[in-house]
Structure 1
Amino acid sequence: MTLPATDTVVLYPAGSTRNGAVVLHLEPVPDGRMAVLLDETACHPVDAGWPDQGTDRAVFLTSTGEEVAVTEAVVAATDGETLFIGADVPVRKGEEGWAFVVAHLVTPDAAVSEGDEVTVVVDEEYRNALSIGHTACHLASLALNRALADRWTKEVRVDGLGEPDFDGAAIASSLIRENGSTDVFRLNKSLRRKGFAADGLAEQLAAIEAATGATLAAWISEDAPVHIDVAGPGLTDRRSWVADLAEASVSIPCGGTHVSALSELGSLTVTLELADVDGTPTLTMLTDATG
């Protein structure tokens, strides 16, 4: 079969962890594994452009009853002639004339062939742990924005709750872990020029941490529903995380997976740490679900 001309249909935004699929294309990759492209998948891939949430753990069940381990799922793209995987993708998502696909990487001797029908089965426990971590990450970013709101001396872009968007302005990296996240913010000269006052932050860090935690506890007690808004079924169709808090419904663009209600987080603890990285002050937020 030829390379697909349309994006992979993705089912994980709706919470799916199992689906039937057709193998559209097989192709060896330089590291010795085989890339398997399906017409649709419940398996969440890692995106090299913003690899905050990693790959799901999954297997294929073949029609003959064999189980094929998916060692990694990665966002890939094709122009119809060549398949580019992960960091090798040369264009931005949504580029005209390109199809963006989920490359399921398996061992080269895996018992799958083009045209086969397989069942994708995702590890539900691991998926749920990552979903808790990702929802916790978004909620904590909003709470931190609120706790730091009085440190801005200029008008800046606001978040979905109307607070100065420190997270959006300062984020350097985000890592979704099982039941938590690690977010690193750069307090560089550019941020300070935008109006963020970093002076005295170390002395106030404990109070900021406590304020962030208190906001999170209040929101979780509401047990607000959470869902993913989707513009379409394809891998590159716009998706957003939405939490219907009592004060407002808030939305953040996101391609990851999430819980369906804030009560699933149990309780959250936030730890803030200041450090100097190559001469640049950084603030690290560790968010962990403990319930």
Structure 2
Amino acid sequence: MALPSADTVVDYPRGAVESDGTVVHVADGPGDLVAVLLDRTAFHPVDAHWPDQPADRGVLEVAVPGGPALPVIDAVVAATDGETLFLGGDVPVRTGTEGWVFSVAHLVPAGTVIAEGDRVRVIVDADHRAALSIGHTACHLASLALDRALSDAWGKPVPGDALGAPGFDAQAIETSTILERGSRDVYRIGKSLRRKGFDPAAFDDPVAVAGRVNAILGEWTASGASVRVDASEPGLSARRSWVCDLPEGEARIPCGGTHATGLADLGTVSVSFETEDVPGARRVVMTTTAG
């Protein structure tokens, strides 16, 4: 069976939760799963190189008489160099690397009869998608509010964020996890960040920091600003950006996830912090909730 020769066209950046496509490749997946690659899908996959947003949930319906509705157990980014297909964590390059083709691999139970050329319909769990989309938008909003709240903690100039504030989030982030209607971001304030001019004492009172961040979030969500995802091309490896028209101006952040259509969808957004001193550094966890 031939390997994919073009990126999967993805419909999830525009909010689609259903799509029709054609099977272009079927391969063995992990464990008792089969990887089904389509020419087009609304299913958002996990990218192993930045796995912040979980995969969508849903089913894949084979459009033949009596065709099955297959539960999609997981969805991951797949890539091929024209000779070998790699799945998920085995993909050796970042999505978008020149000379590679990138696909969404829908992982379904083994033993199902599905073949190249079959027409299928993908149906995403819309409620789960909406909750993750709200969580992802709240995550970006909270990161910008945090940068603004910490702007006076810098003694040296550092690259600015999408609104021009010193980019604490970009400089200190270790991991980011998108949750249903929220997120969890882990930061490290160590020697490197201190050399760049950040004062760790800014987090001596995490409750005060949360208060400043939440005040900013309140102003922004009250604006009901619009949100959209801009894409340079329809393929999986295209560059995409989260764009929000905030009162301070347009914020644009590179992002491959899904999002709400406006801040009015988020309800009240708030953050809380946990801090822990670890060898040579301070670890800060920001939990964001929307609702």
TM-score bin, normalised by smaller chain: over 0.9
Local SS of the residue matching 1:207: helix
1:32 aligns with 2:28: no
Partner residue of 1:247?
Answer: 248
Deviation at 1:30, TM superposition (A): 4.1
- Spell out the pairing of 1:1-291 with structure 2 (5 A cutoff): 1-63=1-63, 64-199=66-201, 201-202=203-204, 204-290=205-291
Kept in 2: contact 1:228–1:239 (CA 8 A): yes
> Deviation digits for residues 90-140 of structure 1, max 9, x if unmatched?
122222321011111111112322111010000000000000000000000
Find the aligned partners of 1:94 and 1:160 in 2 and give their Cα distance.
22
**Larger mean Cα displacement after TM superposition, 150-159 or 274-283:** 274-283
Corresponding letter in the other structure for 1:129: A
**Larger mean Cα displacement after TM superposition, 1-10 or 214-223:** 1-10
Local SS of the residue matching 1:167: helix
Find the aligned partners of 1:277 and 1:252 in 2 and give their Cα distance.
30
Corresponding letter in the other structure for 2:226: P
> Deviation digits for residues 158-206 of structure 1, max 9, x if unmatched?
011110000000000000000000000000111111110002522x322
Kept in 2: contact 1:226–1:242 (CA 8 A): yes
Call closer, same or farther: CA 1:6–1:221 in 2, change over 3 Å.
same
Call closer, same or farther: CA 1:157–1:24 in 2, change over 3 Å.
same
Unpaired segments ≥5 residues, structure 1: none
RMSD: 1.2
The alignment's TM-score, normalised by the length of structure 1, stands at 0.97
Corresponding letter in the other structure for 1:15: G
Deviation at 1:246, TM superposition (A): 2.0
Find the aligned partners of 1:111 and 1:241 in 2 and give their Cα distance.
38
Corresponding letter in the other structure for 1:193: R
Kept in 1: contact 2:134–2:181 (CA 8 A): yes
Kept in 1: contact 2:153–2:202 (CA 8 A): no
**Larger mean Cα displacement after TM superposition, 16-25 or 65-74:** 65-74
Kept in 2: contact 1:5–1:98 (CA 8 A): no
Local SS of the residue matching 2:44: coil
**Larger mean Cα displacement after TM superposition, 234-243 or 102-111:** 102-111
Deviation at 1:65, TM superposition (A): 4.4
Dislocated runs of 4+, deviation >3 Å: none
Find the aligned partners of 2:124 and 2:54 in 1 and give their Cα distance.
13
Identity %: 53
Local SS of the residue matching 1:199: helix
The alignment's TM-score, normalised by the length of structure 2, stands at 0.97
Find the aligned partners of 2:161 and 2:98 in 1 and give their Cα distance.
30
